[in-house]
Amino acid sequence: MKKTNSQLNTFFKTYGGYVILAGIIALVVLFKFYHLSSLPPGLHPDEAANGMDIFRILQNHDLRIVYSTNGPREALFFYIQAGFVAVLGNTILALRVAPAIFGILAVIFVYLYTKDWFGRRTALLAAFLLAVNPWVNTVSRDGFRASMVPFMIAIVAFLGGRAYKSGKARYFALAAFFFGLGFYTYTAFALFSLVVVSGLIYIAIWRRDWIKQNAKNLLIAFAVFIITLMPLVVTVVRHPSESVFRASSTSFLNKDLNHGKPIQTFLEGTTKTLLQYNYQGDENSRHNLPGQPLLNTFVGIMLILGLLVAFSRIGRVKYAAVIAMFFVMFLPAILTAEGLPHALRSIGTVASVFTLSAIGIDYLLTRWYRTFPVNGPARSFGVVTISLLLALTAIIGWRQYFVAWAQDPQTYVAYNESAVALGDYLASHASATNYVIAGGYETLPTAYLTNKKATYVLLDTKGLQDLPLANGSMQFLLLAGDSVKAKIDILQAKFPNGQLTPHFSSFNDKLLFYSFQVNS
């Protein structure tokens, strides 16, 4: 028995960290892929717009660096999604496999960079907290390109840390490549350059010998970065207005948003963004369970403690770097004045938020051990308490997303249940001639889901009024809304023998759309 216990102790000392990491990866796979085809329950028009650009890639071979069909959007994510659309077809799931995979990779690389910087225990804690967080789960289960940002920042942090420690050229080159590649993911990533530049300045001031020793490697990294970034630079130079329009339209400097009070608007946005982690979160169901803090109480307190610990050790490069990562990636949210607090624009803080929270937990455990250096029961009590709080964190994360958020009627509204239901109906109940009476943007999910499965003519109210009378079978589809009655009146006046049928949600019996069948 003693021999068996000794063998188990040896095994866990040698491989325990890997076993725990494997469990965390299995957990994050569950969080990312469980019911992925049905949660989120629908398809937002912005996601569907990605799908329409993917058709341009796959069907028209229209290859671009930036697509401006739904505002300027960097295209790297679309090319990755396109591979899954090619295999799975124009389904909702096809758009969401890529972000789920990037969510898993983010956990892995947050573990790797945190382990290199702060040790294995802190890394395992950071990876676990990230794996079960409902805010991150929400963003990484829908088809938005912002889901790539945590992974990109974490891999740059990992490779940059390896470059700093090892002085090997390959790490410099790889860090520079992924840093350049990050600019092709989501506009907010560009601000991460402030972290890189400030880091180099910090090292130049306090570690001058390191700069001299690695001058050649730094030149290699700079060359790789420039080569990687050049196609995007050329695109921006050729089409500058398209490339910056979205950022300028949401800025706190925009007079339409700040009402002549830019400083006050900036300060209010900063306050809301700071409080989103522990007090009042994003109200948008596409980013968060409306109003809920982005972190639960335990993790939120540990974030504050982690920040205090990091500031107390700011003279060390790794602590200065993680503080810079956190506050710089705040900027994409606080420099805007729309929809704050904005969890999606804050997604760049993910790679540092959970590392800082883990630093807080690790500090708490370390202080506890030092307080009770030989008291076994007291030491065990501290570990058990933290373990229970971590288990509760996982349970809360699961229930907030898969129960509370999944059953919130606002979630179905946010993901355009109506347009998705209309698309499914069209694909299985196509008539000889189909007309959809709606605006173009709101029917993007319909357009994506029916591509090469059903055809229809999109009409607005005036187009419906001007539509000439004709013989034959026709079907009109109208999304439910404030103006739908007026459209129905026009149809019934034109086609008095038409048959009007309402269609309801299987979730809560809400009216989604009408079909109006004409047979003559």
Residue-wise pLDDT for 45-83, tens only, equals: 999 999 999 999 999 999 999 888 887 889 999 999 999
pLDDT greater than 90 at residue 27 = yes
* pLDDT for position 372: 81
429 within 8 A of 516, measured Cβ to Cβ: no
Q: List Cα–Cα distances, 199 to 161, 193, 218, in angstroms.
A: 11, 10, 13
274, 342 contact by CB (below 8 A): no
User: What integer pLDDT is reported at residue 441 of this predicted model?
Assistant: 87
Task: Give residue 385's pLDDT band: very low, low, confident or very high (50, 70, 90).
Answer: very high
- At residue 482, the pLDDT reads 76
Tell me what pLDDT residue 433 has.
Answer: 85
Question: Per residue in 403-438, pLDDT tens?
Answer: 999 999 999 999 999 999 999 999 887 667 889 998
Interval 294-350: pLDDT, tens? 999 999 999 999 999 999 999 898 999 999 999 999 888 888 877 789 899 999 999
Determine how many CB atoms are found less than 10 A away from the CB of residue 319. 20
Mean pLDDT across the chain: 90
Give the model confidence (pLDDT) of 234-284 as tens digits: 998 887 766 654 555 667 766 766 777 778 878 888 899 999 999 999 999
Closest-CA residue to 353 (of 189, 110, 188, 175): 110
pLDDT at position 483 is 84
- Token output for 468: 């000439």
Say how many Å lie between the first and final Cα of the chain, rounded. 87
Enter the tokens of residue 513. Answer: 């759309």
Q: How much is the average pLDDT of 74-103?
A: 96
Q: Which tens digit of pLDDT belongs to each residue from 343-364?
A: 999 999 999 999 999 999 999 9
Task: Give pTM, 2 decimals.
Answer: 0.93
Alpha helix (H) ranges present in 91-191? 92-118, 120-131, 134-139, 149-166, 169-182
CA-nearest of 241, 456, 202 to 325 is 202
